[in-house]
Amino acid sequence: MAEVSLRKVVKRYDEVEAVRGIDLDIADHEFVVLVGPSGCGKSTTLRMIAGLEDISDGDILIGGDVVNDVPPKDRDIAMVFQNYALYPHMTVAENMSFGLRLKRYPKAEIKARIDEAARMLDISELIDRKPKQLSGGQRQRVAMGRAIVRNPKVFLFDEPLSNLDAKLRVQMRIEIKKVHQKVRTTTVYVTHDQVEAMTLADRVVVMNHGRIEQIGTPNELYHNPATRFVASFIGSPAMNFIPCQLEDAAGKLQVRLTDKLAFPLPPARASRYQKISRSDKLLLGIRPEHVTEASAHIEPGVEPFNATLDVTEPMGMETLIYFNMHGAQVCGRVSPNAGAQDGAPLRLAVDLNNMHLLNEVTGAVL
Amino acid sequence: MATMTIDKAGPTRKVKYGSMSRDRAWALRWSYFFLVIFVIFFLTPPVYMLITSLKSSAEISAATNPWWVSRPTLDNYVALLTSNQFLRFFWNSAIVSILVVSITMLIAVPAAFALSRMRFWGSTILGTGVFLTYLIPETLLFIPLFKLFVVFSDWTGIQLINRWYVLLFIYPTLTVPFCTWIMIGYFASIPKELDEAAIIDGASWFQTLTRIFIPVALPGLIAATIFAFTVSWAQFLYPLVFTTSTDQLVMPVGIITTLIKGDVFNWGQIMTGALLGAAPPLIIYAFLMDYYIAGLTAGATKG
C-alpha cells in the first residue's frame, strides 16, 4: 500500500499535449476517481502511473519513490482494463495466478490467495472455466481477482464498467466499493461516467483538455464547483445556466434574468456577491432540484415565478420539466402530483440559497 | 474435405432454412452448384493419378479406357516402397521440410512479434520490406543464389552445393517473409491490452511472446507451419538447381530425374510417387485443420 504523487506531469504526442502539467497527491488507502470527457487525458494519466506510457516531463512517485523510469512490472501495481484483457487460453485460476507464477510464489500461497480472492468476488465455482465461458460481469470479476491476488501497492482501473449493461454496472459498482472497503488498497479509477465518480470516490479529480479542473470530495464538487465545466459535468440532469445581471434595488442586491423577472438575493448570497461589478455578464447556475413547484408556504430565499413548460418527462418518483428563460433552456424537478403538463403554465419556485453565480466569459464560479 | 462439408451441411440447412426467402434458397442452390464444379475440377487429377498408379505399364500404354482399371495391381507401390532410392528421397524431403519449418518458425515468430508490438524506428518500413522480398520470384533468384554459394565455397572451402542441407539456407528465403507476414497479421489482431496486462503482471517481452502470444495466436502459427511445410515439401526449382547426386535429392526432383529415363516415362511409378509424396501434407492438413479453424481469441476481450 502506498501513496501516489504526480508532480507537473506532462505527456506530449509529437505536437499535441495530451496531459498539460498536472499535480495530484493521492493518499494511502484513498480511492481517487479521474473523470472527464473523452480526450481529457484521464486514461493517459492512468497509463503513465502504470508505466504503460512514458512521461514527457515531471515526476510520478509511488510510495515516495520516483518511478519515471521504472518498468511497469517493478512498480507493484495492478490494472483492470475496460475490455477485461483476460488471457483467453488460460482458466480463471491460471489468469489470476499468472503474475504470481511469474514471480515464482510457492504453490500453496498462490492457491490460498486465489481462493480468498475468488470467495471475495463470488467466483469460486468458475475457477476452472475459460474466459469465453463467462459473462461480461463474470469476466470483469476475474479481471479484478487477477489484480487482487497480486496484493499490489496501487490498483488502477481503466473504465472497468464501460462494457457492461446499465444494470450490471450498478451491481459491479457496489462490488468494487465493497472490495475497496475490504482490501483498502490505494486506488486510481478512470471513468467518463460522473455517477460512477460520485458514488465510488473518496475524492474526484475532474479533468478537461489535459488539465485538472478541480479536485474534491463528491459533495464538494457537487455543491461548490470551481468552474462552469465542473458545474455542468457533475450532476444529472446538468446544472442550468441562465444569463443574468446583478442590480441594486432599494438598497438590496437582486439578480435580473429578464426585463420582467428579477429575484432578490438571500442575505448570505448578497454579501458574497456585493463586490461584483453590476455591468458584468453573468450566469445564474441553478441545479434542477432547486427549481421546483411553488408550495403554499414559501421559505426564505425561495422565490416563486410563473413559467410555461415546453416538455415534461415523468420519471415516476419525480417529473422533469423543461422551459425557456431568456433564451436558455431550464430544467426543473417537480413532484409527479404538481400537475406539470406539456405546454401548460405552472407556478414554480427557485431556491436561491443554493444558487451559483458564474462569470460568463471566464466560466469561473464567483 | 470439401465434399464432406457439403454432405454434412446439406440436410440440416434445408430443414433450418425451410421457410427462408426464395432469394436465399436460390443463392444456396447456386453455391452448391459451383462448389460441385469446384470439387470435380480439383479432385479429377488426383483421382486420375490414383487410377494410373494401380495399372501396370502394359495397361497404361494399351488403348483402353483411361478412367478404368481392368487389372488393378499394387506393383508400382511395392516397387517404390522397397526401393532404397525412393525411401532416400522421401527421407531427404522429410528432414529438409521439418528443419526448414523449425528454422522458419524460430525466425518468423519473434520477427513478427517485434514488428507488430515493439514499436521501434523503421519497424513499419521493415515490415513492408519483409513482405516485398517474398514478391521476388525464385526464377529470378536461383542464378544469383547459385553464384553466391559458389563464391562462398571459393572463399571458405566449404562445399554446400549438391548437399541436401544447402536447401536449409535457401528455402527460408521463401518461407520466412511470408510466415512473418502471416504472423504479423495474427499478432496485430491480439488486443493491445492483453500484452499490457501481461507486462503489468510482470512478464518480460520474451515471456509475453511465449506464454501469451504464441498460445493465443496458435491458429496463425499453424497456418504458417502448414504453409512453410507445403512450400518446402513441394519446392522443385531450387533442389533441381542445387542438388544433383541421387543420394542428395528430395522427392519432387528425385521422382522426375530417376523415373524419366530419356524419353521413357514410367507413368505408373511417377503417379504412385506423386501420390505418396502428396500424402504427408494431406495428413498434416487433416490433423491441424481443426486447430486452424478454432478461434482461440474468443473471450479475451468483450465481443
CATH 3.40.50.300 assigned to A4-227: yes
The answer to whether residue B188 is domain-embedded is yes
- Name which of B197, B218, B299 is nearest A81 (Cβ-Cβ): B197
Q: What percent of chain A has pLDDT above 90?
A: 57
| B23 and B117 assigned to the same domain | no
Domain of residue B262 covers 77-293
pLDDT given at position B35: 95
pLDDT of residue A91: 93
Contact A149, A97 (CB under 8 A): yes
* Domain locations in chain A as residue ranges: 4-227, 240-359
In chain B, the number of structural domains is 2
User: Based on the domain organization, do B14 and B149 belong to the same domain?
Assistant: no
Residues of B in contact with A131 (CB under 8 A): 299-300
For residue B3, pLDDT over 60 is answered with no
CATH code for the domain of B190: 1.10.3720.10
Check residue B121 and give its pLDDT.
Answer: 85
A144 touches chain B (CB under 8 A): no
* CB-CB neighbors (< 8 A) of A163 in chain B: 302
Q: How high is the pLDDT of residue A4?
A: 93
**Chain A neighbors of B291, CB-CB under 8 A:** none
Hey, how many other C-beta atoms are within 10 angstroms of the C-beta on B193? Answer: 21
Inside any domain, residue B171: yes
- Residues on chain B touching A77 (C-beta within 8 angstroms): 200
Residue at B44 is within a domain: yes
Give the percent of chain A with pLDDT over 70: 100
Residues B241 and B124 in one domain: yes
pLDDT at B23 over 90: no
Q: What band does B292 get if pLDDT is binned at 50, 70 and 90?
A: low
Largest CA distance in chain B: 76
**A134: nearest CA in chain B?**
B299
Mean model confidence pLDDT for chain A = 90
Q: Locate the chain A residue with the closest alpha carbon to B195.
A: A85
Which tens digits make up the pLDDT trace of B70-89?
888 888 899 888 989 889 99
For the segment B265-289, what is each residue's pLDDT rounded down to a tens digit? 888 899 999 999 888 888 888 887 7
What is the structure's pLDDT at B134? 80
Q: Is A101 on the interface with B (CB under 8 A)?
A: no
Take residue A182 and report the three cell numbers written for it. Answer: 475490504
CB contact (8 A) between residue A84 and residue B202: no
Q: Is residue B267 part of a domain?
A: yes
DSSP secondary structure letter of residue B233:
H
- Length, in residues, of chain B: 303
Order across the sheet with A302-314: list the strands. A291-293, A345-351, A302-314, A319-325, A328-334
Q: Residues A133-181: pLDDT tens digits? A: 998 889 999 999 999 999 899 999 999 998 888 888 898 899 899 989 9
- pLDDT confidence bin for B20, thresholds 50/70/90: low
pLDDT of B297 higher than 60: no
Cα distance between residue A172 and residue A136, in whole Å: 11
pLDDT at position A1: 59
- pLDDT classification of B242: cutoffs 50, 70, 90: very high
A102 → closest Cβ in B194, B201, B301: B201
Most A CBs within 10 A among B117, B118, B189, B200, hence the mutation to make, goes to B200
Whether A52 and B196 lie within 8 Å, measured CB to CB: yes
Please tell me if residue A94 touches chain B, with a CB cutoff of 8 Å: no
pLDDT digits (tens, 9 = 90+) for B39-77: 999 999 999 999 999 988 888 888 788 888 888 888 889
Is residue B301 assigned to a domain? no
A 13-72 → B contacts, CB under 8 A: 50-52, 71-72
ipTM: 0.84
Residues B187 and B223 in one domain: yes
Q: Indicate if B265 and B204 belong to the same structural domain.
A: yes
CATH number of A240-359, picked from 2.40.50.140, 2.40.50.180, 1.10.8.350, 3.40.50.2000: 2.40.50.140
Q: Does A168 touch chain B (CB under 8 A)?
A: no
Tell me the average pLDDT of chain B.
85
pLDDT for the residue A230: 92
pLDDT reading at B301 higher than 80? no
Please list the residues that pair with A32 across neighbouring strands. A188, A203
Q: Is residue B302 part of a domain?
A: no
* Same domain, yes or no: B10 and B84: no
In a domain, residue B264? The reply is: yes
Domain identity same for B104 and B237: yes
In DSSP notation, B120-165 reads: -TTHHHHHHHHHHHHHS-HHHHHHHHHHHHHHHHHHH----TTSGG
User: Measured between beta carbons, which residues in chain A are less than 8 angstroms from residue B299?
Assistant: 86, 88, 130-134, 139
Same domain, B140 and B265: yes
